[in-house]
Amino acid sequence: MSNKLRSPGVLYEVEIKFVLRALDASGTSINLDAILKNGRGSYLIFQAIASHYAGLVAGTEGKGSDLVEEDGGEGYEVKSYHDPENHPKKDEIHCGPSGVFANNSSAAGYKKCLKALDYEGAMRICYEKGYGKNDYYLFTNTAAYAPQQTCFRYLIIHRDQLVRIVNPMDPAKVSRARLLGTAKRKHKIA
């Protein structure tokens, strides 16, 4: 893989134009833009774009890291944040393992820790279910993606640095301002 734009602390940016269409046998064009607005539909698209530029390959999806270094084996978990230009007031990012959100497998224990103000217990669950399984986190600006959005951005942060900046009252979340504040510089791709 020739692309290896994956230095931690660099906010990478590339202009992207999506043309999502399907053609049926008669040549009728079906617009698929709605996929970009839906997290379930767009997750793999944005992950593929990030992996292309960062020189990463698909991981194990759910059992380990989303992406891995082909040459070194280090794992990258992909998460998204709301783009500040399109969502200036949405600062909260879900960075913890999916198991602690909603009604997933570890959510009850995690919520119990939060209610009891047991930060160490909550962090232990986050670490066992997610943080401890990944070397790096790759954040994209694609949460609630808006079709008029023209720039795709991603930032890589080492797990240890992420754990240091998570919300002390809810270690499965981080402030977008704090996360983006870790970027030492910006790099425009092409």
| H-run or E-run covering 15 | strand 10-15
If one counts every other C-beta atom within 10 angstroms of the C-beta of residue 100, the result is 26
The whole-chain average pLDDT of the chain stands at 89
Amino acid in position 182: T
* pLDDT attached to residue 107: 85
Q: 58-70 pLDDT, tens per residue? A: 877 666 788 988 8
* pLDDT attached to residue 156: 97
For the chain, give every domain's residue range. 10-188
Q: Helix 119-129 to helix 107-115 angle, to the nearest 10 degrees?
A: 160
Query: What is residue 64's three-state secondary structure?
Result: coil
Q: How far is 132 from 43, CA to CA, in rounded Å?
A: 22
Query: What is residue 65's three-state secondary structure?
Result: coil
Q: How far is 79 from 151, CA to CA, in rounded Å?
A: 17
Give residue 148's pLDDT band: very low, low, confident or very high (50, 70, 90): confident
Residue bearing the bigger pLDDT, 139 or 39: 139
pLDDT at 87 over 70: yes
Q: 112-147 pLDDT, tens per residue? A: 999 999 999 999 999 998 999 999 999 999 998 887
CA 138 to chain centre: 5
Q: How far is 165 from 160, CA to CA, in rounded Å?
A: 9
Phi, psi of 26 (to 5 degrees): -85, 0
Residue bearing the bigger pLDDT, 50 or 19: 50
Q: 154-184 pLDDT, tens per residue? A: 999 999 999 999 998 999 999 999 999 999 9
pLDDT at 109 over 80: yes
Query: What is residue 53's three-state secondary structure?
Result: helix
